[in-house]
Structure 1
Amino acid sequence: MKDTDFRLDGLEPADEQSATAYDRTWICRYQTIAQHDVGERSFIVAFDPSATWDVPNTPNLVSFDVVRDPERGTFGMHSSGHATLAFAQRWLIDRGCPAEALAPIADAPRPADELTVRVEDRIRHSGERLAVVEHQVIDGGDVEGWSIAVDQQAKELPVRLFLESLQPEQYAYTVRAGAFADWDAADDWLEDRSTPLPEAPEYRLDALDAQALRTGAALSRTTSSLPRAGAAPGAPAVPVNSPQPDRGRSL
């Protein structure tokens, strides 16, 4: 990954919050994972390798929303730390960045399966629906991280556990979503793990929808392959109004 270039030469922070965020760019050697530029505005997801020496469990993925004002000679910088990429992308999407513009440009592990893609896509487009309350970052030699969030629209089992597992040999990862009645139940599962991760209901519905689509497509192919009713193969069709041969009068 290459070092992040915030393009701030000759500009001053527009406010105290921007100054604080900018000061950290001198301490942390951010490395760009994804970036989308629109004129003088940049949406960036960066990796912070220095987080491993910070307070334990400091998020090592940081989202940046940078707005430059060359005429005034200032810039605004807002940032937010995250434990997983999908939540880092969501923060920028909520601030106006197109989702498709945030695909990783760095050499990073890829989703290992279709379910991971669906889980991450739901996170990215969840808006304010998911409120993260606890997380565990993947750091150093770790192969697992997670985020616990409250689904503020769920009528039952409102707590979601998003479990991310690295597969170093395949240079890939999986993300799974579990559903729990409360935060304590999610924590208890993480401690115990004697049962499978309770699947979130929305992904069961996704699976049923996908199966229905596959079944419908299969039925459509089967129906279209059946022979149509009509003349037997090879038999010439008889025109409806064709003249009939004169069989003569009967005696």
Structure 2
Amino acid sequence: MPSYEPDFRLDGYEAVNNNVAEQFWGSIGIEQDDMTVLAEHHSADGEHSFFVMHNRAVTWGIPGEPQIAALHLKRDPATRTFRFASEMLPLPSMAQSWLVARGCPEEEILLPDGMGTAPANDATRALEKRLRSDGDHFALLTSYTYDSEPIETTVLLRALDEKAALPFRVLLEEVDSDAWTHTLREGGFQTFEAATQWWEAHWRGDKPPLPAASPAARHTTVAATGVPARPAPPRGPSR
């Protein structure tokens, strides 16, 4: 992954208060040197900046934690102060969705060619587009990123619509390190228990197939935050 340290364009700006300053340092600034910008967009008036970044520091921490940082900076040119919001997410498309929901134009936050792995097929591209463009139908319950070979990420989502036919979804991203491509697939489950059973079997090495999500519901995608109604499933294997 290319080394591209972020420029947050905060010269001459200060956090709006001490609390924001401490939060920014604790969640972004302290690990800025370990972050690689995957995509960024800055509004023409200079008041907003949006970043999708990979945080290498996460790979040295708790196994399985999300490695993609989404950051929205909001500047006030009149007072030369800034606020921010950020979220750690397991997939770039989910980080993009989080930023789009906060006002970033979708077409401006796409990853440029050569930045990260490329989608391996049209199905992956279509699913990533759905995830980017419609970020308020599902809540993120848990995820696991396995960054050794074979590189995989699993994500468990819950529909916010209580009437959804398949309220629990699993996303599975698999990386082909030789071809430098990735595939992303989606499975639908009627119950939390069924999704958990698939999750446990997958990380045991059984590799069960993902049950298809219903076509009528596949246009919806991921909300980046959410509190699970039940305990999250096992996170995945240890390194």
Would you call these one fold, judging by a TM-score over 0.5?
yes
- Indicate the residue corresponding to 1:124 in structure 2: 132
Instruction: Give the whole-Å Cα distance in 2 for the aligned partners of 1:108 and 1:205.
Output: 25
Give the 3-state SS of the residue equivalent to 2:178 in structure 1. Answer: helix
Aligned-pair Cα RMSD in Å: 2.1
The 5 Å alignment of 1:141-156 reads: 141-153=149-161, 155-156=164-165
State the number of aligned residues.
206
Q: CA 1:12/1:23 → structure 2, altered by over 3 Å: closer, same or farther?
A: farther
- Indicate the residue corresponding to 1:36 in structure 2: 41
1:203, CA displacement in angstroms? Answer: 7.6
- Indicate the residue corresponding to 1:200 in structure 2: 213
The 5 Å alignment of 1:36-55 reads: 36-38=41-43, 39-40=45-46, 41-55=48-62
Instruction: Give the whole-Å Cα distance in 1 for the aligned partners of 2:207 and 2:55.
Output: 34
1:169 to 178, 185, 195: 178
- Indicate the residue corresponding to 2:14 in structure 1: 12
Whether the 8 Å contact between 2:65 and 2:143 is mirrored in structure 1 is no
- What is the letter of the counterpart of residue 135 of structure 1? S
**Runs of at least 4 residues of structure 1 off by over 3 A?**
22-26, 203-206
- Indicate the residue corresponding to 1:85 in structure 2: 92
1:10, CA displacement in angstroms? Answer: 2.3
- What is the letter of the counterpart of residue 180 of structure 2? Y
- What is the letter of the counterpart of residue 149 of structure 1? L
Q: What residue ranges of structure 1 are gaps of 5+ in the alignment?
A: 207-251
- What is the letter of the counterpart of residue 137 of structure 1? T
Q: CA 1:205/1:188 → structure 2, altered by over 3 Å: closer, same or farther?
A: closer
**Could you say which structure has the larger radius of gyration?**
1
The C-alpha deviation readout for 1:142-201, integer Å capped at 9, x for no partner, is 511011001223531210000000011111000000001122211211222464210111
1:136, CA displacement in angstroms? Answer: 0.6
Between Structure 1 and Structure 2, which shows a larger proportion of helix residues? Answer: 1
Whether the 8 Å contact between 1:146 and 1:162 is mirrored in structure 2 is yes
Q: CA 1:108/1:176 → structure 2, altered by over 3 Å: closer, same or farther?
A: same
Q: CA 1:142/1:17 → structure 2, altered by over 3 Å: closer, same or farther?
A: farther
Q: CA 1:185/1:108 → structure 2, altered by over 3 Å: closer, same or farther?
A: same
Q: TM-score, normalised by structure 1?
A: 0.75
